[in-house]
Amino acid sequence: MSSNPDATPAGATPAEESVHPGSTDPRGEVVIVASSNHGKLAEIRSALPFAHWRFSAASELDAEWPSPDETGETFEDNARIKAVACRERFGMAALADDSGLEVDALDGAPGVYSARFAGPCATDAENNARLLLALADVPDAERTARFRCSIVFIAADGTETVATGTCEGRIGHEPRGEHGFGYDPLFLPDATPGRSMAELTLAEKNEISHRGDALRNLRSELAGE
C-alpha cells in the first residue's frame, strides 16, 4: 500500500491490493478493468498472465465510480467508452470489454441491446422469454446466432489495442442448464453439440466463448505474435 495518502483520489477506497492512480507500483504495472464482475476479472487474469501486470477492478478502487452509459452503436464503441472513462478516472492502463448476442433471423438483434432486450431493467429470464417469442416461427436451420465480444486495452502511454472474439451457435427452443448467465441457457454452441452454453462448466465455456477468444487474441496482439 502506498504511504502517500495524498495520492488517493477523492472518493477512492483502498482495495485489497491497493494501488494509487499515477503511482509506480514495484509489483508491476497496474491495469484497471472497467468491471465489477469478479468472474470476468479472474478470467482476464488467467488469460493475460504477463508477469509485469497486475489487474484491479475499477469498483475496488472507487466503489462510487459510475460506469459510463453504454451509448455506442457497436460492441467496440461501448468497450472504448468504458476503457477511456476508466483511464481518465484513474490515470493508469485500462481494459474494458463489451459483448452480446447476434441472431441472424433478427437481423443481428439484440446486439448491443442484449442486456435490455426485454426492457431497461430486464432480467435474464425476461430477455430469454422475449427471444423465444421473437423466434417462435423460425425453423431450426434459421436459428443461427453468435456471441461477440470486443476488448479495448489502453496502455499507460495511451496506445490502444483492440481484440475481438466470436462464438457461433444456434438458439434452442427452451432454456437448458444451470451455469453461466444471460442467454447461455438458450445458446447451443456449434463447438459442443447437444449441450447448451449453460450446461458447460466454467472452464469449458472459457475455452470456446467469445470472451475467451477475444482474450486469447488480445494476448497474441500484445505479445507481438
CB 85 to ligand IMP: min, Å: 15
- For ligand IMP, the closer of residues 175 and 180 by Cβ is 180
Distances (CA, A) of 29 to 7, 19, 59, 74, 183: 16, 10, 18, 29, 35
In angstroms, how far is CA 151 from the centroid of its own chain?
7
Distance of CA 6 to the CA centre of its chain: 32
Where do runs of H (alpha helix) occur along 48-101? 58-61, 75-90
The answer to whether residue 165 forms part of the interface with ligand IMP (CB under 6 A) is no
Listed ranges 6-14, 23-31, 158-166, 178-186: which one lies at the site for ligand IMP (CB under 6 A): 178-186
The one-letter amino acid code at 224 reads G
Q: Which of 54, 179 has the CB closer to ligand IMP?
A: 179
Q: Which residue's CB is nearer to ligand IMP, number 20 or number 199?
A: 199
Binding residues among 70-109 for ligand IMP as defined by CB under 6 A: 98-101
Chain CA centroid to CA 127, Å: 18
Residues with catalytic function: 98
Query: What's the min distance (Å) between Cβ of 141 and ligand IMP?
Result: 23
189: contact with ligand IMP by CB under 6 A: no
Q: Closest separation between CB of residue 187 and ligand IMP, Å? A: 7
Q: For helices 210-222 and 38-47, what crossing angle results, to 10°?
A: 40
Is residue 171 a contact point for ligand IMP (CB under 6 A)? no
Contact pick of 114, 164, 196, 217 for ligand IMP (by CB under 6 A): 114
Position among 165, 169, 172, 180 found at the interface with ligand IMP (CB under 6 A):
180
Which position among 19, 183, 188, 212 is part of the footprint of ligand IMP (CB under 6 A)? 183
Q: Edge-to-edge strands of the sheet including 29-33? A: 53-57, 29-33, 93-103, 144-154, 160-171, 187-189
Q: Is the peptide bond before 5 cis (omega within 30 degrees of 0)?
A: no
Judged by CB under 6 A, the chain residues 115 through 154 that form the site for ligand IMP are 115, 127, 147
Beta-strand (E) ranges in 70-159? 93-103, 144-154
**Among 76, 24, 81, 29, which residue's Cα sits nearest to residue 56?**
29
Q: Could you list the residues that contact ligand IMP (CB under 6 A)?
A: 98-101, 114-115, 127, 147, 180-184, 209
